[in-house]
Amino acid sequence: MIQVTYHGHSTVEIAYNEHRLIIDPFLTGNPVAKAKAQDIKVDYVLLTHGHNDHIQDAVEIAKANDATIIATYELAMYMESQGCKVHSLGIGGSFQFPFGKVKFTLAFHGAGELLPGSSTFQFLGFPAGILLYLGDKTLYHAGDTGLFGDMKLIGELNTIDLAFLPIGDNYTMGPEDALIAAQFLQARAVVPIHYNTFPLLAQDGDAYIRQLQEKGIGGSALTPGESYTIA
């Protein structure tokens, strides 16, 4: 059984057997998050890209838990420079971890951050989506991507039991494109992410789920702190 807990924005915590993972931890400064960084107990931290609203608490959580950060090469090296244990992957690359296999996919958006206390902008590597293979189940976290045609290929090559797709628009796909993405991926179920954190990202998650259901796709618009179980 896999239990997924949504912490708002794009932050997803995953419990699978004895393993605990978190993707894109953004709790500090996240106005909708119920949990705090110090509440998180995980073995691995997975990052899709280097924007602050996806890596805000990565270093704190990794150090507090002696957890390994999994990220693309440049972002992993940056995290290593902050004193974290890391494992780097390239786009299209995969690796078998104790909990299961991770593979990074394409994603289309920016990926960099202003250095603290500076006006210097640092490139932190190419953005990625994450395919997560846990037992006989496959999860896909799309990061901040826009809609792209190779999602069809991802769907053809994988049986995606649960996809985390951004619907906030402006910086990512909006609901209309995310509906097409879910169909491209042939996802069995979707949890929408990256919306309603800030006014600019206001969307109706329940309406999106109803549109998915009309296409025969399941899922749930989780509120921060809610969980979704894959049996």
Query: What pLDDT shows up at residue 148?
Result: 98
8-12, 123-127, 196-200, 203-207: the lowest-pLDDT one? 123-127
User: Is 122:113 a contact under the CB 8 Å cutoff?
Assistant: yes
- Rounded percentage of the chain residues whose pLDDT exceeds 70: 98
In this prediction, residues 174-191 reach a mean pLDDT of 98
**Phi/psi-derived region of residue 190, left when phi > 0, alpha when psi is between -120 and 50, beta in every other case:** beta
Each residue's pLDDT tens digit, 134-147: 999 999 999 999 99
Residue identified by tokens 């972002």 is: 75
Q: 77-92, pLDDT tens digit by residue? A: 999 999 999 999 999 9
Tell me the domain boundaries of the chain.
2-230
**Would the pLDDT of 116 be above 80?**
no
| Residue given tokens 């602050």 in the structure block | 52
The pTM score is 0.96
- Please tell me the CATH superfamily of domain 2-230, with its number: Ribonuclease Z/Hydroxyacylglutathione hydrolase-like (3.60.15.10)
- Given the structure tokens 């902050």, which residue do they identify? 82
pLDDT given at position 20: 98
Task: Count helices and strands (H / E) in the chain.
Answer: 6, 16
Q: At what angle do helices 73-81 and 58-65 cross, to 10 degrees?
A: 60
